[in-house]
């Protein structure tokens, strides 16, 4: 501004300078406010992410507990079914668990999806649930010795098993396997005389696992067979009674050399311990079976502190001295 200056121009210049300074201050204030709000928002997002992760972990843990309790309930129900074996010739005791374990191994070796493997395992535990309504005398009799009337009654148990699961929406895939587990590859099975790939794969797997255990218990032959003898008999059913691919997988995983290799791959050798030596995290190497033949805890069950207390309580109440076979904690 040059002298002499105009008062109005001077006032205008001062006013503009003040306004510019105010604008600069307001801009700085707003920028600082924005930075602070952005920082608060960032912290809120971090906290929200942490809460979401924590909640997700809680839901996942609850889901896993629900799955374990669900499977434990099915195993308990399977044990109730097999209690009838105590009053017959004992061949029912442990049968469903053995069939379920073998079927699961076959399915896993065939690289089936995890959900399908689980369904096959559950179907193995429940495959004979339809026999609940059959007389004890019939269940104690080998199939070849049954009369035509008894055989007709026995042949209904897959249908009865399916019907018993009708009200359970989530169990319908399992129910389908129960109905079809006595079908044959050549179409000469029961109850629907389905053949080949028209039979659900899970049922074809169960047919192999079930027959293997039945041959060793003497249920479907005049006298019990050894494992090797049962495998030899089943090998002759390739393409007639059994799905060739399923049978080949079964023969592979049950060959003595393959079983020995599997044992060598075990993470830790099992050892026998008293209940006072049990520790959380230990894994059962063998089924814990009651004097009545009931499977109290299945092999591969991971022990917890609460479960160990229940085992000790059972031991005290029954006046027993339990010896459990365990492996070191899974890692």
Interval 54-59 mean pLDDT: 84
Assign 91 a pLDDT band (cuts: 50, 70, 90): low
Q: Are 180 and 156 in contact (CB under 8 A)?
A: no
* CA–CA separation, 242 and 245 (whole Å): 9
- Name the helix (H) or strand (E) containing 174: helix 172-180
Residue 160 has pLDDT above 70, yes or no: yes
The predicted pLDDT at position 240 comes to 96
Task: Please name which of 304, 151, 142 lies closest in space to residue 216, comparing C-alpha atoms.
Answer: 142
The predicted pLDDT at position 281 comes to 87
The percent of residues in the chain predicted with pLDDT above 70, rounded, is: 87
Residue 124 has pLDDT above 80, yes or no: yes
Q: At what angle do helices 95-109 and 201-217 cross, to 10 degrees?
A: 140
DSSP 242: B
Query: Dmax of the chain from CA atoms?
Result: 133
* Mean pLDDT score across all residues of the chain: 85
- Give Cα separations from 106 to 118, 130, 154, 251, 263 (angstroms): 12, 24, 26, 10, 17
Peptide bond into 191 cis (omega under 30): yes
Cβ neighbours of 201 (radius 10 Å): 17
DSSP 225: -
- Name the helix (H) or strand (E) containing 296: strand 295-297
């Amino acid at each position: 501004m040059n002298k002499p200056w105009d008062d109005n121009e001077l006032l205008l210049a001062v006013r503009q300078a003040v306004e510019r300074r105010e604008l600069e201050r307001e801009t700085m204030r707003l920028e600082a406010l924005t930075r602070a709000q952005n920082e608060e928002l960032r912290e809120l997002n971090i906290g929200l992410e942490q809460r979401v992760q924590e909640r997700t972990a809680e839901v996942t843990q609850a889901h896993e507990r629900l799955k374990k309790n669900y499977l434990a309930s099915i195993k308990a129900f399977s044990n109730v079914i097999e209690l009838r074996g105590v009053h017959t010739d004992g061949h029912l005791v442990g049968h469903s668990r053995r069939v379920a374990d073998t079927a699961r191994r076959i399915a896993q070796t065939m690289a089936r999806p995890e959900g399908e493997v689980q369904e096959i395992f559950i179907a193995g535990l429940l495959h004979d649930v339809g026999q609940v309504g059959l007389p004890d005398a019939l269940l104690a009799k080998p199939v070849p010795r049954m009369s035509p009337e008894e055989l007709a009654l026995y042949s209904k148990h897959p249908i009865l098993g399916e019907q018993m699961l009708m009200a359970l929406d989530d169990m319908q895939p399992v129910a389908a396997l129960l109905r079809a587990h006595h079908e044959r590859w050549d179409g000469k099975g029961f109850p629907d005389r389905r053949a080949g790939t028209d039979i659900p794969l899970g049922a074809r797997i169960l047919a192999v696992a079930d027959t293997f255990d039945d041959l060793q218990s003497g249920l479907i032959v005049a006298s019990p067979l050894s494992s090797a003898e049962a495998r030899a008999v089943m090998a002759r059913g390739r393409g007639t009674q059994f799905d060739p691919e399923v049978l080949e997988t079964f023969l592979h995983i049950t060959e003595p050399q393959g079983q020995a290799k599997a044992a060598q791959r075990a993470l830790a050798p099992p050892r026998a311990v008293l209940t006072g030596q049990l520790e959380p995290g230990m894994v059962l190497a063998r089924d814990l079976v009651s004097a009545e033949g009931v499977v109290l805890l299945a092999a591969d069950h991971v022990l917890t502190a609460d479960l160990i207390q229940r085992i000790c309580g059972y031991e005290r109440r029954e006046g027993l001295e339990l010896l459990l076979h365990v492996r070191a904690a899974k890692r």
